[in-house]
Amino acid sequence: MHRRLIVPSALAASLLLAIPASAADYAPGAAGIGDAYYPASGNGGYDVSHYDLRLTYQPRTDLLEGTATLLATTTQRLSRFNLDLGLEVSEVRVNGRKAAFAASGDHELEVTPAAPLDQGKEVSVVVRYAGKPSELKIGGWTAWHRTPDGGVAAQEPDSAVWWFPSNDHPLDKATYDVSVSVPDGTQAISNGVLQSQPSKLGWTRYNWRSNKPQASYLATLAIGRFDITTDRTASGLPVLNAYSKDLGDNAGAARASVERTAEVAEWLEEVFGPYPFNALGGYVPNVTSGYALETQTRPFYSPRQFANGSNTSVVVHEIAHQWYGDSVSVKGWKDIWINEGFARYSQWLWSEKEGEGTARQLADYAYALRPAGDPFWTVKPGDPGPDKQFDIAVYDRGALALQALRDTIGDEDFFAVLKGWPQKFAHGNASVGDFVTYAEQVSGKPLAALFDTWLHQPAKPAALPAAPGHRADTAAPAPKSRARASAAGRPAPAALPPQPKSWKKIAATDTVHDHGNGRGHGKH
């Protein structure tokens, strides 16, 4: 009688092959992606590669009905996972099979597939849902603008939960197909390129495609009656701008501004390198808000941005975001400076180009404008906190940090950094620390102390670095009243340098991201 001997290691291997993973090996995906400012934003356990949204919207009633198909890859063994959505769900399918689902919290949709999902598995998720976005309030606010002829989704840091299920955080970017059916005579505007617009039985379906990765908050939807202009840039890029038909006195100024989008983008290509997306444009719906937003390829502008006349500076700000914020997105919302500091500095560079004040003159004025005791200097642009995420200091002090960098490393290296950064991190995510490291690599200079001073210390820096050929004593002489105050031992206000011609135009855009939504966005 012969007995077959099995060594312990071989026995263990055979058992592993024979026994499937137990239920204990699978776990729910996290209900948040791990953002320090917004713990409930996004979800864990999977990564979305594509959204296919097929929607029907009735402007008269604000009823939105949708079927969303998400293509994703699991990043762990999942027993269930969450999506972010606030509207009512009627059915969920995972890989074609019906899945159990339940709503929890303000906007969590918990999905339990019929069978657990292995790590690294490609998954399709279909969600059928409906609701009136204007009636959905989360934390007392809404990202959905009801308009006289429809509705608009455009908000930061959240807007997707009002109109489609998503992994709602910039860390999980994806491509998009957005197809929206609306009554004839009404248009649907979204991101990217309009592929087609067939009509049937009184309804028209608008089919939009964004073929580059896009953060969920940068996806936009505007439904209403618009005047639309189309064109192509010299390089063949399609340009589409849209204006509500009822903008009233703001209509002319809005058009005079947004129609310069292609011109602004061509100039920014000289500063930041090739435009990163497949379409260009902007839209101005009839909303009551006052902010603008860098929705990818097609920024959103509130009519109030043009209440005092044309405002090319706000167009510069939002188009600059296509590189800084859209193509290169934040790793976490605490990294907001890599969006806003650069968009504001782009406005300073536009002023320099237009001969209305150099960036250095604007920096000198911004630095001198607020005394050391002003709360402005207590905000740290490199990590402002959720309550100060969109504070004016993130913009102006953030731009001052870039001027300090320019003065320290010189124009050649500075503009090499501005152009190289969007290429290195194209269509991805990055942090403030990543930028500091990159600037050091390009310039060959240690810059940690400089950025710490300008981005992370809650105090007014002693002075801007001296730029080549720049005299620090260019401020106007102190008035006699200031001299008398000093002689009397009282603190004297610092003399301001001459105000650059563009200052008021740029300051008029200080409310550019004053969303007023209760999510800690600063009032400018």
Do residues 325 and 343 touch, judged by C-beta distance below 8 A?
yes
Q: What is the pLDDT of residues 54-74, one digit of tens each?
A: 999 999 999 999 999 999 999
87 CB burial (10 A radius; 0-12, 13-18, 19+): buried
Structural domain boundaries in the chain = 333-468+497-508
What is the value of pTM for the model shown?
0.91
What are the backbone angles phi and psi of residue 47, rounded to the nearest 5°?
Answer: -135, 125
Residue 508 scores a pLDDT above 60: yes
Task: Give per-residue burial for 120-141: e unless 16+ CB within 10 Å, then b.
Answer: eeebebbbebebbbeebebeee
For the chain, what percentages of helix, strand and coil (3-state, to nearest 5) are there? Answer: 30, 25, 40
Q: Please give, one letter per residue, the 3-state secondary structure of 247-280.
A: CHHHHHHHHHHHCCHHHHHHHHHHHHCCCCCCCE
- pLDDT score for 466: 87
Give 512 or 415, the one with higher predicted confidence.
415
514 falls in which pLDDT band (50, 70, 90)? confident
CB–CB of 464/403 below 8 Å? yes
Higher pLDDT, 183 or 485: 183
The count of other CB atoms within 10 Å of the CB of residue 432 is: 23
For residues 64 and 67, what is the distance between their CA atoms, to the nearest angstrom? 10
Q: Which CATH number fits domain 333-468+497-508: 3.30.230.10, 3.40.50.12780, 1.10.390.10, 3.40.50.720?
A: 1.10.390.10
pLDDT above 70 covers a percentage of the chain that reads 89
Cα–Cα distance measured from residue 154 to residue 57, given in angstroms and rounded to the nearest whole number: 16
DSSP-based three-state secondary structure for 214: strand
Q: What is the mean pLDDT of residues 336-363?
A: 98
Mean pLDDT of 256-277: 98
What's the whole-number mean pLDDT along residues 16-20?
A: 46
**Cα–Cα distance between 348 and 325 in angstroms, integer?**
18
User: Which is more confidently placed, 439 or 471?
Assistant: 439
Q: Average pLDDT in the 136-149 region?
A: 94
Among 150, 238, 229, CA closest to 194: 238
Query: Between the CA of residue 428 and those of 144, 172, 324, what are the distances in Å?
Result: 27, 9, 11
- The overall average pLDDT reported for the chain is 91
3-state SS assignment for residue 148: coil
Residue 358, classed as helix, strand or coil, is coil
The CA–CA distances, whole Å, from 46 to 27, 72, 101, 522 equal 12, 6, 17, 32
Distance between the two ends of the chain, CA-based, in angstroms? 90
Mean pLDDT confidence for 200-207: 98
363-374 pLDDT per residue, tens = 999 999 999 999
pLDDT at 522 over 80: no
Point out the least confidently predicted range of 110-124, 258-272, 275-289, 479-493: 479-493
